[in-house]
């Protein structure tokens, strides 16, 4: 599985919001800056096949509107543009609809706009089968943002886990145990009620030395701090490929 890091930052860092492109076709999270970064990285918006949103905080969700708008224009020009699959947590369809209702021209119906080039589904903890991937969503603990999910993408060769935004909780441990590579919330120097910290992730990396930990959602405080990291932990940078 190829992972292209579109963004590695949190809401207030200089970097683009945490987002990963899997195998050039599946995007995990689309917070602010992600759409422009896709264009800067020459990712063809037409080639996106699916988008998964882990939770509805704007730094994971808000650029979905820009991607849907771009895809609609492509579909308007060429009816053969394939349908984009969008997977949202419960409440996501209504959230997207409210944005569309309040930001589009008055003569555009928000439901028609949302579904013109995309098939949008709200997911729960049932496994999702998409092409050669089996995807499992597990509820994680992101304080009052409910639901928030972590995701496991499994192919015959690799298992990549995404923590989404979460503090340590039993499902984070499950995601780590099930995966060989982790894209993991490393927001602040120390764990808080919303997020894991560098301290937590270093502990996990030491506990599971056979797994690769890729820290994301990184704050300026973590980025600017001096620290010695275990060999199997890397703090991600925008644009990197794994």
> Which residues of this protein are in contact with Zn ion, per CB under 5 A?
57, 165
- Burial code (b: 16+ CB inside 10 Å, e: under 16) for 95-105 equals bbeebbeeebe
Least Å distance, CB 104 to Zn ion, is: 26
> CB–CB of 198/166 below 8 Å?
no
Least Å distance, CB 75 to Zn ion, is: 30
Least Å distance, CB 223 to Zn ion, is: 18
Which one, 84 or 140, has the nearer CB to Zn ion?
140
Least Å distance, CB 114 to Zn ion, is: 23
Gap between the terminal Cα atoms of the chain: 8
What are the structure tokens assigned to 192, written together? 């808080």
**One-letter-per-residue 3-state SS of 131-160:** CCEEEEEEECECCCCCCCEEEEEECCCCEE
Q: What are the residues facing 163 on neighbouring strands?
A: none
Least Å distance, CB 60 to Zn ion, is: 6
Q: What are phi and psi of 17, to 5 degrees?
A: -60, 145
What are the structure tokens assigned to 140, written together? 């994680």
Which one, 61 or 123, has the nearer CB to Zn ion?
61
Which one, 19 or 117, has the nearer CB to Zn ion?
19
> CB–CB of 149/55 below 8 Å?
yes
Supply angle C-alpha 40, 18, 236, rounded to 5: 85
Which one, 141 or 165, has the nearer CB to Zn ion?
165
Which one, 1 or 11, has the nearer CB to Zn ion?
11
């Amino acid at each position: 599985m190829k992972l292209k890091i579109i963004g590695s930052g949190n809401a207030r860092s200089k970097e683009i919001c945490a987002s990963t492109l899997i195998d050039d076709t599946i995007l995990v999270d689309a917070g602010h800056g992600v759409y422009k970064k896709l264009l800067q990285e020459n990712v063809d918006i037409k080639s996106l096949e699916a988008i998964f949103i882990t939770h509805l905080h704007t730094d994971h969700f808000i650029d979905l509107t820009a991607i849907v708008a771009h895809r609609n224009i492509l579909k308007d020009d060429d009816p053969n543009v394939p349908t984009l699959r969008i997977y949202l947590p419960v409440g996501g369809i209504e959230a997207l609809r409210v944005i569309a209702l309040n930001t589009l021209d008055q003569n555009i119906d928000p439901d028609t706009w949302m579904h013109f080039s995309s098939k949008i589904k709200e997911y729960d903890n049932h496994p999702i089968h998409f092409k050669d991937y089996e995807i499992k969503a597990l509820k994680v603990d992101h304080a009052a943002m409910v639901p928030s999910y972590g995701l496991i993408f499994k192919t015959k060769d690799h298992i990549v886990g995404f923590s989404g935004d979460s503090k340590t909780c039993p499902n984070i441990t499950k995601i780590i145990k099930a995966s060989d590579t982790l894209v993991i919330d490393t927001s602040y120097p120390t764990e808080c009620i919303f997020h894991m910290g560098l301290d937590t992730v270093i502990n996990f990396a030491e506990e599971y030395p056979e797994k690769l930990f890729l820290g994301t959602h990184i704050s300026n405080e973590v980025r600017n701090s001096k620290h010695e990291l275990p060999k199997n932990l890397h703090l991600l940078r925008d644009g990197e490929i794994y």
